[in-house]
Amino acid sequence: MNKLNFTLNKDAFLKDLFDLLAIPSVKDVEHAKPGEPFGPEIARALGQLLELGEKEGFRTKNIDGYAGYIEYGPEEAEDYISILGHTDVVPATGNWTNPPFEPYVKDGKIYARGAIDDKGPTMAAFYGLKAVKDSGLPIKHRIRLVIGTDEESGCNCMKYYNTKEPMALFGFAPDAEFPLIYAEKGRIHTRLDYKVQQHGKDSDLVLVQFSSGERINMVPDQAYAVISGSRANDAVDKIKQALDNEQTVYSVEQVDDGWKVTVKGTSAHGSEPYGGVNAAFLLANGLKEAPFSDAEKPFISFLANTLNNDFYGENLGIPFKDDITDRLTVNAGIVRFDNSQGGSVSLDIRCPVTAPLDELIETLTSEVKKQGFEIGELIKNEPLYVDQKHPGVQILKKVYEENTGEKNVELLTSGGGTYAQYLDAGVAFGACFPGKPYTGHQVDEYIELDDLVLATSIYADAIYNLANMEK
């Protein structure tokens, strides 16, 4: 492997990264418009990176606000290598030590929403590309740093990009773990809809509202319910007792419609639901002790008894496991209920690479119907699997080993999904190092500065060697 000789300018790097981290680039469809399909802040983050690319002398293109790219290499080259990063972030819920969009360094760690997912690694890839350009060394293929804007909410950006631009020869997403992830689970994102009869004002006990979660791929860390009716006072006492028995953190307040009960859980990435505490389940466990009507009980029971801590889909009849990517997982990321409109539960199901997705969907449809639910929206994403002998995979493996001094590293599989799934041949490559916690989607998200510096060096060597890869 050829290794570039460069030293990262940390001051310039941190300035550019902090400017990007300070943008609250959470999806905002309410304020979307042409050229800003996912809202103004995401558009601002995309524009800022493209402007940085122009400043450094790269070719850039904004693809209708869905994505953009920063390109280097011979314009006449037929093929290009793709590095796929994203600038959108999940909402910064929970109690942060400091404001999540005011980045800072403490004890060698960069704290901010997006520090590791995925603005930090994307900036590292940009500086790696810059190092290749500054070296002046010849390369065969064009290199594109492709910047996505909707990774956290369906990847519509990459779907759009692939209708407008040719497919890359090979690529990687700096949005996961080192040394390299060659297989990613497939995904089923679905909303289960529940219809309920509207109660009259004289009902003894009414579940007026239930709400938990903002993103399907996050374990919700807060949930609340509003209850009303002549028996609401007694019901609240039963709910409080049940929550106390489970040592749940909660609060109760009187509102116009009756009582509002709010519980606290612990957020985690939706690909690892067992790593968090789902607030919707905690709340449903309390509510199931109250004497709601038969119209509402099935919804509460589905949360409290069927989904509660059923991380592997056994109660839904869809457990699956293979030797490549292990077990199927289920995360109930968004829960809504309105007494006048009904309810819904949005599931993020991560499926092993050999799982028969259509059969799983058929079984799921049948099982939830027994409990009063119908399949609403459904999105299916096929898994990622790239042969470990692929020349691009071998280049990245050797680059990682030479930069870290590790030998014969074992390549990884993942339950998470990255932009690599939108390449004909691509993998996830960093930037979280082995043995380090991955803090994406969590409160006080961070990445270690030294790790990000090392990742920049790895990306620079990877980009250069991939740019000269033989077909």
Residue 94's pLDDT is 87
DSSP, collapsed to helix, strand or coil, labels residue 306 as: helix
191 and 276 in a single domain? The answer is: yes
Residue 360: which pLDDT band, with cuts at 50, 70 and 90?
very high
Classify residue 281: in a domain, yes or no.
yes
Question: How many structural domains compose the chain?
Answer: 2
37 and 110 in a single domain? The answer is: yes
CA angle at residue 401 from 397 to 402, to 5 degrees? 120
150 and 213 in a single domain? The answer is: no
Least confident of 132-146, 196-210, 349-363, 397-411: 196-210
376 and 399 in a single domain? The answer is: no
304 and 210 in a single domain? The answer is: yes
User: What percent of the chain lies above the pLDDT cut of 90?
Assistant: 91
Domain end among 333, 363, 381: 381
Query: If you average pLDDT over each of 40-49, 196-205, 210-219, which comes out highest?
Result: 40-49
Classify residue 265: in a domain, yes or no.
yes
Residue 31's pLDDT is 97
The residues, any chain, with a CB within 8 Å of residue 140's CB and separated by 6 or more, are 74, 77, 467, 468, 469
Domain end among 359, 381, 403: 381
Task: State pLDDT tens for residues 75-111.
Answer: 999 999 999 999 999 999 889 999 999 999 999 999 9
Classify residue 71: in a domain, yes or no.
yes
155 and 200 in a single domain? The answer is: no
Mean per-residue pLDDT over the chain, rounded = 95
pLDDT exceeds 70 at position 162 = yes
Could you tell me the CA-to-CA distances from 175 to 29, 58, 148, 221, 299 in Å, in that order? 24, 23, 12, 23, 36
Classify residue 3: in a domain, yes or no.
no
Classify residue 2: in a domain, yes or no.
no
Domain of residue 322, residue span: 187-381
CATH code, 436 = 3.40.630.10
Classify residue 4: in a domain, yes or no.
no
Classify residue 439: in a domain, yes or no.
yes
pLDDT exceeds 90 at position 340 = no
CATH code, 256 = 3.30.70.360
329 and 201 in a single domain? The answer is: yes
Residue 151 is among the residues annotated as catalytic for this protein = yes
Q: Could you tell me which of 420, 334, 393 has the C-alpha nearest to residue 86?
A: 420
Query: CA 320 to CA 308: how far, in whole Å?
Result: 18
Classify residue 321: in a domain, yes or no.
yes
Query: CA 269 to CA 90: how far, in whole Å?
Result: 10
Q: Note every long-range contact of 44-50, with CB atoms under 8 Å and residues 24 or more positions apart, other chains counting.
A: 45/20, 45/87, 45/88, 45/119, 45/149, 46/87, 46/147, 46/149, 48/19, 48/20, 48/23, 49/20, 49/87, 49/122, 49/126, 49/147, 50/147
Q: What is the DSSP letter of 313?
A: S
Residue 129's pLDDT is 98
Residue of 16, 36, 151, 221 marked catalytic: 151
Residue 450 is among the residues annotated as catalytic for this protein = no
Residue 202's pLDDT is 54
Residue pair 59/39 in contact (Cβ under 8 Å)? The answer is: no
350 and 451 in a single domain? The answer is: no
Task: State pLDDT tens for residues 196-209.
Answer: 866 555 578 999 99
